[in-house]
Chain A
Amino acid sequence: MSRPVANVQIGYELEIRDKNGKVIKRISKPSKSFVSNFLQWLLTGLVSTPYTFKDRGGTDREVYTHIPAQSGVDVEFINMDVKGPADDVNYGILVGYGTTSPAPGDYDLESPAPNSELKAYETTLEEYGVSGNETYATFKRVFENVSGADKTINELGLAAKYYRKVGTDERGPWYFLLIRDVLSTGQTVPAGATVTVRYKIKTVT
């Protein structure tokens, strides 16, 4: 009954285009590296109990992924949103320069690329669907090398924004790393070029 693949899989793709829009590199690999925050978040949602996560700054944060019954209070709740807007590299798909192997306790990229070097566009939900025995959702973000020099990407990640306000109890916004991957070979993004990063999450039945 056992089989060689995970039931919930994630993969990434990088596509580098030169400043004229010509594709100069494309790689696609299975992601290896949900970090422990992802599993904590999943469990928190399944059992509706708060847990403590490390945010991207390394600070412990008590996170509720549910709201118990309330009455007569204002509520705002953003539960792990990955659609980071343009120029906001606190969350969404991230890229960086670090080369240290991923570990379960990673809470940030080793060396995130600043927006002043690799300018981030919005993280979007590009595709969602069912194909055979797979169902999937693909998130995408484009980065433009505006640094004036070639830059080499070695690591990728996916981070989420959390914010919860119930009456006077305000938590966040906080940002949590859910996935981190280190590339087997660094990928150079020439000055003026773009790199498109996609994360595809799928279940295989």
Chain B
Amino acid sequence: MMGVKAYLKLTVRDREGRVVKHLEIESRSFLLNLIRVFKALFARQHDMSVTLPDGGSGRFDAYCQVGASTKTTNWWCHLMAPKEDDSYGIVVGLGTRAVAIDDYNLESKIPHGTTAGKLYYYDVKSEAVSVEDSVMKFKVKRFFDEHAGSSVNVNEVGLIAFHRCTDDNGDTQIKFLIARDVLPSTVTVPAYGNLMVEYEIKCTV
């Protein structure tokens, strides 16, 4: 079946820059929150409820009101987290629990940091849409470094979106999980090593 497919690539390098692991899988796991976003956008909905990483509810506002004349900002599903920010963008974790459609957070996110058990999060990067014959695709990716000198295991990967809508109704800033994948086997980032995680989103006509 056609549609939108996502592929997940992970590449691990040791401290010398040598590739020690490369994994490519078909991502299984766009989540309920993403369909909520599509619904809100296509149906012009102001108050779509999404589930936040703490299990609470947040308001996704796809449209700005006419004449919102004070402060206005609208990002609908921003993934481009800056470096050292592990609250959105591509995130990684330790959890192994199977994916459920209503997942709202990684099971156990690995935090940004330079001490043992943490990874240094770089900024999320993207590539433009490319079209080749009947295939269209784009990529988003993020690099992670281990700085403490002790290896870190990664079992799950996710996408957390940052939504912001500021208008006369107030300032809404929420972050919510739109995809989560559990890896088929543990990927170990060695001491002082590096991990690259890439999502490739693809459509075929």
B172 close to A (CB within 8 Å) = no
B131 in complex: contacting residue of A3, A4, A5, A105, CB < 8 Å: A105
Question: CB distance B78 to A76 under 8 Å?
Answer: no
A27 close to B (CB within 8 Å) = no
Interface residues of A in 38-52 (CB under 8 A from B): 38-40, 42-43, 45-49, 51
A63 close to B (CB within 8 Å) = no
Question: Which B residues are in CB contact (< 8 Å) with A160?
Answer: 42
B21 close to A (CB within 8 Å) = no
B166 close to A (CB within 8 Å) = yes
Question: Which A residues are in CB contact (< 8 Å) with B32?
Answer: 130, 135, 203
Report A23-64 CB contacts with B as 1/0, cut-off 8 Å.
Answer: 000000011111110111011011111010000000000000
Question: CB distance A81 to B44 under 8 Å?
Answer: yes
Complex CA distance for A62 and B42, rounded to whole angstroms: 19
Shortest Cβ distance from B183 into chain A, in angstroms?
8
Question: Which A residues are in CB contact (< 8 Å) with B167?
Answer: 75
**Most chain A C-beta atoms within 10 Å of own C-beta, residue among B4, B6, B161:** B4
Q: How large is the interface on B (under 10, 10 to 19, 20 to 34, 35 or more residues)?
A: 35 or more
Question: Which A residues are in CB contact (< 8 Å) with B39?
Answer: 125, 128, 137
Shortest Cβ distance from A150 into chain B, in angstroms?
30
A38-B203, A47-B140, A70-B71 as given contacts; A3 in contact with B26, CB under 8 Å: yes
B52 close to A (CB within 8 Å) = no
Question: CB distance A33 to B2 under 8 Å?
Answer: yes
A104-B136, A137-B42 as given contacts; A6 in contact with B75, CB under 8 Å: no
Interface residues of A in 136-181 (CB under 8 A from B): 136-137, 139, 160, 166
Complex CA distance for A75 and B70, rounded to whole angstroms: 9
B126 close to A (CB within 8 Å) = yes
B126 in complex: contacting residue of A5, A40, A46, CB < 8 Å: A46
User: Which stretch in B59-67, B112-120, B149-157 binds the other chain?
Assistant: B59-67
Question: Which B residues are in CB contact (< 8 Å) with A76?
Answer: 64-68
Q: How many residues on chain A are close to B (CB under 8 Å)? A: 66
Interface residues of A in 58-109 (CB under 8 A from B): 65-83, 102-105
User: Which stretch in B9-17, B99-107, B186-194 binds the other chain?
Assistant: B99-107
Question: CB distance B134 to A1 under 8 Å?
Answer: no
Question: CB distance B28 to A205 under 8 Å?
Answer: yes
Question: CB distance A205 to B30 under 8 Å?
Answer: yes
B205 in complex: contacting residue of A35, A68, A74, CB < 8 Å: A35
B74 close to A (CB within 8 Å) = yes
Shortest Cβ distance from B22 into chain A, in angstroms?
14
Question: Which A residues are in CB contact (< 8 Å) with B80?
Answer: 46-48
Question: CB distance A8 to B3 under 8 Å?
Answer: yes
Shortest Cβ distance from B67 into chain A, in angstroms?
5
Question: Which A residues are in CB contact (< 8 Å) with B140?
Answer: 46-47
A7 close to B (CB within 8 Å) = yes
Question: Which A residues are in CB contact (< 8 Å) with B75?
Answer: 48, 66-67
Shortest Cβ distance from A13 into chain B, in angstroms?
15
Question: Which B residues are in CB contact (< 8 Å) with A197?
Answer: none
What are the 3 A-B residue pairs with the smallest beta carbon separation, nearest first?
Answer: A6-B3, A8-B4, A77-B64
Task: Other than A1-B184, A104-B134, give 17 A-B pairs with Cβ distance below 8 A.
Answer: A7-B27, A9-B1, A31-B3, A36-B129, A43-B128, A47-B80, A66-B74, A67-B64, A76-B66, A76-B68, A77-B74, A79-B62, A83-B43, A103-B134, A135-B32, A137-B35, A202-B35
6 contacts between A and B (CB under 8 A): A6-B4, A71-B70, A77-B63, A79-B41, A103-B134, A203-B32
Which A residues form the contact surface with B (CB < 8 A)?
A: 1-10, 30-36, 38-40, 42-43, 45-49, 51, 65-83, 102-105, 125, 128, 130, 133-137, 139, 160, 166, 201-203, 205
